[in-house]
């Protein structure tokens, strides 16, 4: 068994953790404008085209439900072409959390880039 | 797509998800959170996507396995075993209550049938106080169901199949207990019903009233809880209302404790003390603690202490010369001689109050809650609860009076060889004053044929016990006997003679009732001489009913409450006026006042 095959499951798990860990942050960012569930789902899929395992619809809807239950997101139902369409937008509490997450992400990102630059890895 | 099929797809998916979560050994808190979130997501997703079946849902939304993977719920062998264990305990807890009730119904006739076939004051007293704690047992089972339902409802999601099963089981058990109570009530009163008018005429009305009140109050309590739970069950099953997460009257700890405390007057069985502890533990486990809950807990412990203390005072007079045993909050104490049993009760009570208070403070601190006392009537919508409670207070107060107790003494005749006869000479010191009710009867048990002392076969249908009896009462300090009654066994006449047909033997018995006015403690004497005694069993029993409180506190008016009841009832009524605000409620009220101005 070569090193790549040994490391592959670890890399896979790390990638899953990284992408899934960022999902809530991304949803909050995308909700800067009012959006409906399917729209958010499509946008995230376009941002992570090679997501492994593939992103199921349930994951995003579950994140929206969790944010809703914590009063971070509000929802309004609109009848669109004979079907119910739910639009989501940030609440004041959600907006606050979004800003805190952006600040955290900016700091983290600059620290990672700094570390990589230190050893000329990028 | 219509709502019904949407609900069906959703519920099938949630069932599969629950199975997967249990398989993965997820803890119940994770299962609850995951199911609640999945249910919310599915409602939004299904209505938006207009899905036709489960297959298309799993294709797009993801399978339960994918859903668990996305939530990072990994397989855990220990967790799986814990889940299996939990499910076994879950099933057993309800099955045990069913089984317990069933064994009551099945073995009732076997255990108590014979005892009830003796229509005496003893049998009536047994019914009045609930045979061997039957009333208390039914009440305890009802409270246990409430505790279990509360615990499982709190720890399991409303979308969890186990929660639905436990809701159905709870509903069944509530009505099952009502059924047992009605059957027992009808059975017992049909057995001794013929005795009631006779006893009533013999100045022993209180036995009839007290017994009926106890049964009816318990029946009222069991039916009320069953009806209230049925209302909750029906409303919760409506999908529209389920979303609202309403609280119902049956969920109110306050209501339960009120009834609980009051019933403990009516049924002061030792098990009630144990239930106070169970109720407290369940409240702490479900974290539903407010200042009012704390006060109710302290009240319950104090009431139990009061009832125990009163019983301890009564039993501290060791006139039968036996070891005194009592159960204090579920702990059995057997004390001899002059040991101060009261101190055990006081220490246990103080420890319980301290533990309860510390637990409540810890919960307040963890939830960061601050309370402020507020006086005033409750909301108008809740006034009907107050009316029910006041009614219960009144009925319970009546039901708890008078505080009478019974003392049963069995005699086996001694053979006097010189005179060739059988004798009984007994003296009982009774440390009470007030009205003492005495009933006594001889009890002859024989098989279908028998021999007399000469070896001749006795015709059992014409059996006569020849002899005489004498009952006297002498007040302490007096040289004369203030009460004297005598008679002959052979002079018995209807309706005091009862013949009850049994499968294996016949029982003949005679009944006498006396009411003795005791000015102080004194000595009750019983003498009997039996001239003809069969080789089979002849036993005589005296059943003495004495006022338990009269030694220290003489009840001048028998239906007037003692000092404990007005204090507790007053305290309970004050709960109707007192309310507590949390810090958040205070702030929101101040804000709304600000807006109004």
Nearest to B229, CA basis, from B138, B143, B105: B143
Shortest distance, CA B349 to any CA of chain A (angstroms) = 43
Residue B281 burial class via C-beta count within 10 angstroms: exposed 0-12, middle 13-18, buried 19 and up: middle
B2 to chain A, any CB pair closer than 8 A? The answer is no
Instruction: Assess whether pLDDT exceeds 70 at residue B371.
Output: no
Nearest residue to B157 via CA among A84, A35, A69, A71: A69
B123-133 pLDDT per residue, tens? 555 555 555 56
The per-residue pLDDT for B482 is 86
The answer to whether B67 contacts A85, with C-beta atoms less than 8 Å apart, is no
- Over residues B582-595, the mean pLDDT reads 51
For CA atoms B122, B123, B127, B128, the dihedral sign is negative
Q: How close, in Å, is residue A64 to chain B by CA atoms?
A: 8
On the question of pLDDT at B435 being above 60, the answer is yes
* Residue range A93-113: mean pLDDT, rounded: 93
**Pick the residue with more confidence: B144 or B268?**
B144
Select the more confidently predicted residue: A36 or B247.
A36
DSSP character string of A18-76: HHHHHHHHHHHHHTTS-EEHHHHHHHHHHHSTT-SSPPPHHHHHHHHHHHHHTTSEEEE
Distance (Å, whole) CA B581 – CA B483: 63
pLDDT value of residue B173: 92
Only one residue has tokens 């005892």, namely B115
Mean pLDDT over all residues of chain B?
69
CB contact under 8 A, B62 and A36: no
Q: B238 CA to chain A: closest CA distance, Å? A: 22
Residue B308 has a pLDDT of 64
- The strand pairing partners of A74, in sequence order, are A89
Is 2.60.120 the CATH classification of the domain at B410-547? yes
User: What is the C-alpha end-to-end distance of chain B, expressed in Å?
Assistant: 50
Burial of B567 (0-12, 13-18, 19+ CB in 10 A): middle
For residue B495, whether the previous peptide bond is cis, meaning omega lies within 30 degrees of 0, is yes
Q: Which of A74-83, B7-16, B401-410 has the lowest mean pLDDT?
A: B401-410
| Nearest alpha carbon to residue B551 among B314, B265, B337, B315 | B314
Average pLDDT over residues B483-488: 83
Q: Which of A66, A84, A86 sits opposite B37 (nearest CB)?
A: A66
A vs B, Cβ pairs < 8 A, gives: 65
Min Cα separation B52/chain A (Å): 14
Higher pLDDT, B159 or B506: B159
A interface residues, B as partner, C-beta within 8 Å: 17, 20, 36-38, 53, 56-59, 61-62, 64-66, 68-69, 75, 83-86
DSSP three-state, residue B261: helix
B324 pLDDT tier (thresholds 50, 70, 90): very low
B77: pLDDT strictly greater than 50: yes
Token pair 């009867």 is at which residue?
B441
Contacts for B583 with CB less than 8 Å, ≥ 6 apart? B369, B370, B371, B372
Report the distance separating Cα B597 and Cα B593, nearest Å: 6
Closest C-alpha among B131, B247, B277, B256 to residue B191: B131
Please list every residue in chain B whose beta carbon sits closer than 8 Å to the beta carbon of residue A62: 37-38, 41, 67, 70-71
pLDDT tier at B574 (50, 70, 90 boundaries)? Answer: low
**Average pLDDT, rounded, for chain A:** 84
Note the pLDDT of residue B198.
63
Q: Could you tell me the pLDDT band of residue B18, with boundaries at 50, 70 and 90? A: very high
Long-range contacts formed by B368-372: CB under 8 A, 24+ apart:
B369/B290, B369/B582, B369/B583, B370/B582, B370/B583, B371/B290, B371/B291, B371/B580, B371/B581, B371/B582, B371/B583, B372/B580, B372/B581, B372/B583, B372/B586
Average pLDDT estimate for B82-91: 88
Residue A119 CB contacts under 8 Å (≥ 6 apart), including other chains: none
Mean pLDDT to the nearest integer, B86-95: 86
| pLDDT at residue number A92 | 93
CATH code of residue A67: 1.10.10.10
CB-CB contact of B138 with B180 (8 Å): yes
Q: Give residue B290's pLDDT.
A: 77
Determine contact, residues B412/B539, Cβ cutoff 8 Å.
yes
Which of A62, A68, A75 is the best residue to mutate to test the B interface, defined by the most B CB atoms within 10 Å of its own CB? A62
CA distances from B111 to B120, B126, B340, B503 (A): 18, 13, 36, 15
Q: What is the mean pLDDT of residues B367-379?
A: 62
Any bridge partners for residue B441, and if so which? Answer: B541
Question: What digits encode the pLDDT tens for the residues B23-62?
Answer: 998 999 899 999 998 998 888 888 777 777 888 888 888 8
CA distance B531 to B421: 5
For residues B462 and B451, what is the distance between their CA atoms, to the nearest angstrom? 13
Substitution target in B20, B38, B45, B73 with the highest count of A β-carbons within 10 Å is B45
Range of the domain at A76: 3-118
Question: Tokens 């001689």 — which residue?
Answer: B337
Number of domains present in the structure of chain A: 1
Between B102-111, B222-231, B446-455, the lowest mean confidence (pLDDT) is in B446-455
Higher pLDDT, B236 or B501: B236
Task: Tell if the CB–CB gap between A85 and B48 is shorter than 8 Å.
Answer: yes
Query: Would the pLDDT of B535 be above 50?
Result: no
**B568/B371 Cα distance (integer angstroms):** 24
If residue B409 lies in a helix (H) or strand (E), which one and from where to where?
A: strand B404-411
Q: Which residues pair with B485 in a beta bridge?
A: B471
Across B451-471, average pLDDT: 63
d(CA B57, CA B13): 9
Least confident of A116-120, B47-51, B70-74, B455-459: B455-459
pLDDT of residue A117 exceeding 70, the answer is: yes
Q: Looking at per-residue confidence, does B277 or A5 come out higher?
A: B277
DSSP B38-80: HHHHHHHHHHHHT--SHHHHHHHT--HHHHHHHTT----HHHH
Interface predicted TM-score (ipTM)? 0.77
- The answer for residues whose C-beta is within 8 angstroms of residue B595's C-beta and 6 or more apart is none
Residue B443 DSSP label: E
B47: nearest CB among A57, A64, A84: A84
Q: Quick check: B188 pLDDT over 60? A: yes
Closest-CA residue to B164 (of B80, B47, B172): B172
Residue A4 has pLDDT above 60, yes or no: no
B38, B41, B68, best to mutate vs chain A, most A CBs in 10 Å: B41
Q: For residues B439-462, give the mean pLDDT.
A: 56
pLDDT tens digits, A62-88: 899 889 989 999 988 887 777 777 889
In the block, residue with structure tokens 């060889």: B417
CA B71 – CA B34 distance, rounded (Å): 8
């Amino acid at each position: 068994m070569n090193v790549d095959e040994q490391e592959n499951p670890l890399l896979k798990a790390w990638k899953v953790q990284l992408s899934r860990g960022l999902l809530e942050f991304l949803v909050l960012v995308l909700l800067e404008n009012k959006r409906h569930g399917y729209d958010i789902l499509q946008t995230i899929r376009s941002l992570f085209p090679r997501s492994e395992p593939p992103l199921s619809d349930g994951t995003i809807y579950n994140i929206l439900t969790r944010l809703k239950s914590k009063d971070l997101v509000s929802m309004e139902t609109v009848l669109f072409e004979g079907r119910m369409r739910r639009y989501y937008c940030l609440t004041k509490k959600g907006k606050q959390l979004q800003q805190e997450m952006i600040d955290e992400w900016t700091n983290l990102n600059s620290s990672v880039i700094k570390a990589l630059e230190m050893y000329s890895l990028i | 797509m219509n709502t019904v099929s949407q609900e069906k797809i959703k519920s099938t998916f949630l069932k599969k998800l629950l199975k997967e979560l249990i398989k993965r050994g997820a803890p119940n808190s994770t299962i609850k959170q995951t199911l609640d979130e999945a249910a919310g997501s599915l409602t939004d997703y299904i209505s938006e996507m207009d899905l036709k079946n489960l297959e298309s849902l799993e294709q797009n939304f993801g399978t339960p396995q994918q859903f668990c993977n996305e939530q990072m719920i990994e397989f855990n062998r220990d967790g799986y075993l814990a889940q299996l264990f939990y499910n076994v305990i879950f099933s057993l807890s309800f099955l045990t209550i069913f089984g317990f009730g069933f064994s009551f119904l099945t073995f009732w006739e076997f255990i108590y049938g014979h005892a009830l076939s003796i229509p005496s004051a003893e049998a009536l007293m047994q019914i009045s106080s609930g045979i061997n704690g039957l009333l208390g047992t039914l009440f305890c089972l009802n409270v246990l169901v409430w505790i279990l339902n509360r615990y499982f409802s709190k720890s399991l999601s409303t979308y969890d199949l186990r929660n639905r099963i436990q809701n159905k089981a709870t509903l069944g058990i509530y009505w099952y207990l009502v059924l047992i109570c009605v059957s027992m009530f009808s059975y017992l009163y049909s057995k001794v019903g013929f005795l009631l008018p006779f006893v009533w005429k013999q100045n022993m009305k209180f036995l009839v009233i007290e017994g009926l009140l106890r049964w009816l109050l318990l029946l009222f309590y069991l039916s009320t809880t069953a009806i209230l739970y049925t209302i909750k069950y029906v409303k919760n099953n409506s999908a529209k209302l389920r979303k609202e997460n309403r609280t119902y009257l049956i969920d109110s700890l306050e209501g339960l404790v009120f009834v609980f405390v009051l019933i403990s007057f009516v049924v002061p069985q030792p098990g009630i003390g144990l239930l106070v502890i169970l109720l407290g533990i369940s409240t702490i486990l479900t974290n539903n603690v407010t200042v009012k809950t704390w006060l109710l807990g302290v009240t319950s412990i104090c009431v139990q202490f009061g009832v125990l203390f009163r019983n301890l005072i009564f039993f501290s007079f060791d006139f039968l010369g036996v070891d005194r045993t009592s159960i204090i909050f579920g702990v059995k104490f057997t004390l001899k001689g002059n040991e101060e049993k009261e101190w055990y009760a006081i220490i246990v009570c103080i420890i319980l109050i301290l533990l309860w208070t510390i637990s409540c403070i810890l919960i307040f601190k963890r939830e960061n809650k601050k309370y402020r006392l507020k006086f005033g009537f409750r909301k108008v919508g809740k006034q009907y609860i107050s009316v029910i409670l006041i009614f219960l207070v009144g009925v319970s107060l009546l039901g708890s009076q008078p505080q009478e107790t019974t003392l049963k003494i069995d005699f086996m005749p001694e053979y006097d060889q010189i005179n060739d006869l059988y004798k009984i000479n007994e003296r009982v010191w009774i440390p009470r004053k007030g009205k003492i009710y005495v009933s006594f009867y001889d009890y002859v048990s024989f098989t279908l044929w028998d021999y007399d002392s000469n070896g001749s076969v006795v015709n059992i249908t014409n059996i006569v016990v020849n002899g005489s009896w004498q009952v006297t009462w002498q007040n302490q300090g007096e040289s004369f006997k203030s009460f004297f009654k005598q008679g002959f066994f052979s002079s018995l006449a209807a309706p005091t003679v009862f013949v009850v047909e049994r499968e294996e033997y016949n029982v003949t018995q005679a009944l006498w009732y006396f009411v003795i006015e005791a000015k102080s403690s004194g000595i009750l004497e019983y003498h009997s001489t039996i001239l003809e005694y069969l080789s089979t069993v002849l036993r005589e029993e005296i059943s003495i009913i004495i006022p338990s409180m009269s030694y220290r506190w003489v009840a001048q008016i028998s239906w007037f409450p003692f000092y404990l009841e007005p204090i507790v009832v007053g305290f309970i009524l004050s709960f109707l006026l007192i309310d507590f605000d949390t810090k958040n409620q205070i702030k929101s009220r101040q804000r709304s006042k600000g807006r109004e101005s």
